[in-house]
Amino acid sequence: MKLFECQKCANLLYFENTSCEKCGSLVGYLADQQLLSAVLPAGNHWTALAHSKVPYRFCANWENRACNWLITVASANPYCRACQHNSTIPDVTDPHNHALWVKMETAKRRLFYSLIKLRLPLPLRKDECPEPLEFDFLNDPADRQVMTGHDSGKITIALREADDAERERLRVNLHEPYRTLLGHFRHEVGHFYWDRLVRDDNRLEGFRDVFGDERKDYAAALAAYYTSGPPADWQKSYVSGYATMHPWEDFAETWAHYLHIVDTLEMGFAFGMTISPRLKNEHGMNAKIARDPYAMTTIDELLAAWLPITFAVNSLNRTMGQPDLYPFIISPPAARKLDYIRSLVQTGAGVTTWRTKVSDSLKKLHIRS
pLDDT tens for each residue of 72-122? 999 999 999 999 999 999 999 999 999 999 999 999 999 999 999 999 999
From CA 83, how far away is CA 327, in angstroms rounded? 31
154-158 and 134-138 strand pairing: parallel
From CA 182, how far away is CA 187, in angstroms rounded? 9
**233 backbone dihedrals φ, ψ, rounded to 5°:** -100, 30
Looking at the chain, which runs of residues are DSSP E strands? Answer: 4-5, 12-13, 27-30, 35-42, 45-48, 55-58, 70-72, 86-88, 134-138, 148-151, 154-158, 274-275, 287-288, 365-368
Q: Which residues pair with 27 in a beta bridge?
A: 38
**29 backbone dihedrals φ, ψ, rounded to 5°:** -95, 130
266 alpha-carbon distance from chain centroid = 14
From CA 197, how far away is CA 215, in angstroms rounded? 17
Q: What is the pLDDT of residue 349?
A: 66
* Nearest Cα to Cα of residue 56 among 72, 39, 75, 38: 72
From CA 186, how far away is CA 23, in angstroms rounded? 34
**324 backbone dihedrals φ, ψ, rounded to 5°:** -55, 140
- pLDDT tens for each residue of 164-210: 999 999 999 988 999 999 999 999 999 999 999 999 999 999 999 99
CB 14, CB 8: distance < 8 Å: no
CB 126, CB 134: distance < 8 Å: no
Q: What is the pLDDT of residue 174?
A: 87
CB 49, CB 36: distance < 8 Å: no
From CA 350, how far away is CA 121, in angstroms rounded? 6
* Number of separate helices (H) and strands (E) present in the chain: 8, 14
From CA 168, how far away is CA 265, in angstroms rounded? 26
Q: What is the pLDDT along the chain (369 residues), one digit of tens a residue?
A: 899 999 999 999 999 999 999 999 999 999 999 999 999 999 889 999 998 889 999 999 999 999 999 999 999 999 999 999 999 999 999 999 999 999 999 999 999 999 999 999 999 998 888 899 999 999 988 778 899 999 999 999 999 999 999 999 999 998 899 999 999 999 999 999 999 999 999 999 999 999 999 999 999 999 999 999 999 999 999 999 999 999 999 999 999 999 999 999 999 999 998 988 877 766 667 888 888 999 888 999 999 999 999 999 999 999 999 999 999 999 999 999 999 999 999 887 666 555 544 444 444 555 555
Q: What is the pTM of this model?
A: 0.92
DSSP letter assigned to residue 19: B
Q: Which residues pair with 86 in a beta bridge?
A: 135
CB 45, CB 56: distance < 8 Å: yes
3-state SS class at 249 = helix
Q: What is the pLDDT of residue 30?
A: 96
Q: What is the pLDDT of residue 361?
A: 41
Q: Give the residue extent of every domain in the chain.
A: 1-80, 81-200+359-369, 202-350
From CA 109, how far away is CA 115, in angstroms rounded? 10
